[in-house]
């Protein structure tokens, strides 16, 4: 009776997760995949095939846009890691007590508002009549208003800012488990700050680095709002092409195919990264 009750409780607890995965992830993806296999042969007539996927490889603009999106996402991930690592190290191993809590809270505060509001905030800062341009003129660095919006630099700033928390959290979690005595022993044995960082801290933080990088890369690659608003109408971002196929051209078949191409190619990039770094998903989840 006890075993039966335990199993029933386990399945009851598992039911919300199964429903969430099935209704919001698995079933919609299966339906979108079936849509991507439909080929229009006439008004209201379809055939099954892979023509929509072949379009991606036969049109240079689509390939170039994805390559550009992937490269910029990788660059945004690298910049986010460079900024987040010292911040996370300070929070995890140097800051103590209330200061540690305050610093971590400061990382969370920007995410109390939506991504749309945060992006509008950057638009106010970077526009021609914005605070940055006015400060440069006030300091005598610029003699006229400067437009910082609608370029790759603005997109990169937005992506890094949007993704920072998702790099800090796994790094702080990983670095907190690092025994301070190992760092002290490294210094006692004559190691420099660089050698201690390279030989002790970074290897220990590797799972957090990989997991944070995967999350930031996937969020950047699939981001739509930030590149469109900060990059302007001339911004080439793959998610914008998917949006245009669904909403502007009403070509759901091609849009679904592009969506799956984004999923497949981004997963391939993540898999290659895990292979190169010698990490596994199991290690990054621990």
Q: What is the CATH number of the domain that holds 276?
A: 1.10.3720.10
Which residue range forms the structural domain that includes residue 181? Answer: 60-285
- Flag whether 13 is in a domain: no
Tell me, what's the pLDDT at 80? 96
- Flag whether 45 is in a domain: no
d(CA 82, CA 161): 13
- Tokens 């760092």 belong to 183
DSSP state of 195: H
- Flag whether 175 is in a domain: yes
How many domains are contained in the chain?
1
- Flag whether 48 is in a domain: no
Tell me, what's the pLDDT at 49? 87
- Flag whether 155 is in a domain: yes
Tokens read off for 32: 């979108």
Helix axes 252-277, 202-221, angle to 10 degrees: 170
Q: What are the DSSP calls for 65-134, one per residue?
A: HHHHHHHHHHHHHHHHHHHHHHHHHIIIII--HHHHHHHHHHHHGGGGS-HHHHHHHHHHHHSTTSHHHH
- Flag whether 52 is in a domain: no
- Flag whether 26 is in a domain: no
Q: Facing residues of 45 across strands?
A: 42
pTM: 0.88
- Tokens 């039966």 belong to 4
d(CA 129, CA 158): 19
pLDDT tens string, the chain, 286 residues long: the values are 566 777 777 778 888 888 888 888 889 889 999 999 988 777 767 788 888 999 999 989 999 999 999 999 999 999 999 999 999 999 998 888 888 889 888 888 888 888 888 888 899 888 888 888 888 888 888 888 888 888 899 999 999 999 999 999 999 999 988 888 888 888 888 888 888 888 899 888 888 999 899 999 999 999 998 999 998 777 789 999 999 999 988 889 999 999 999 999 888 888 888 888 777 666 666 5
d(CA 39, CA 253): 7
- Flag whether 1 is in a domain: no
Tell me, what's the pLDDT at 281? 65
């Amino acid at each position: 009776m006890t075993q039966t009750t335990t199993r029933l409780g386990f399945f009851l607890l598992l039911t919300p997760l199964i429903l969430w995965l099935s209704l919001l992830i698995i079933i919609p993806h299966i339906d979108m995949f079936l849509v991507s296999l439909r080929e229009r042969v006439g008004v209201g007539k379809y055939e099954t095939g892979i023509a929509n996927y072949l379009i991606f490889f036969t049109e240079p603009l689509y390939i170039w846009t994805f390559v550009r999106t992937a490269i910029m996402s990788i660059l945004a991930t690298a910049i986010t890691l460079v900024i987040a690592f010292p911040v996370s190290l300070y929070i995890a191993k140097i800051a103590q007590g209330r200061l540690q809590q305050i610093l971590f809270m400061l990382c969370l505060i920007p995410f109390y508002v939506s991504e749309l509001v945060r992006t509008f905030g950057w638009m106010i800062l970077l526009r021609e009549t914005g605070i940055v341009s006015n400060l440069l003129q006030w300091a005598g660095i610029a003699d006229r208003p400067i437009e910082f919006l609608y370029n790759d630099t603005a997109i990169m700033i937005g992506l890094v800012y949007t993704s920072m928390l998702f790099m800090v959290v796994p790094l702080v979690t990983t670095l907190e488990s690092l025994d301070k005595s190992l760092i002290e022993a490294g210094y006692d044995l004559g190691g420099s700050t660089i050698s201690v960082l390279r030989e002790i801290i970074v290897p220990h933080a590797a799972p957090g680095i990989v997991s944070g990088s995967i999350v930031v890369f996937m969020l950047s690659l699939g981001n739509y709002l930030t590149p469109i608003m900060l990059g302007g109408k001339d911004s080439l971002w793959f998610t914008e092409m998917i949006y245009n196929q669904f909403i502007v051209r009403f070509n759901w078949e091609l849009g679904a195919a592009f969506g799956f191409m984004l999923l497949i190619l981004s997963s391939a990039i993540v898999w290659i990264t895990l292979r190169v770094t010698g990490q596994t998903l199991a290690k990054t989840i621990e």
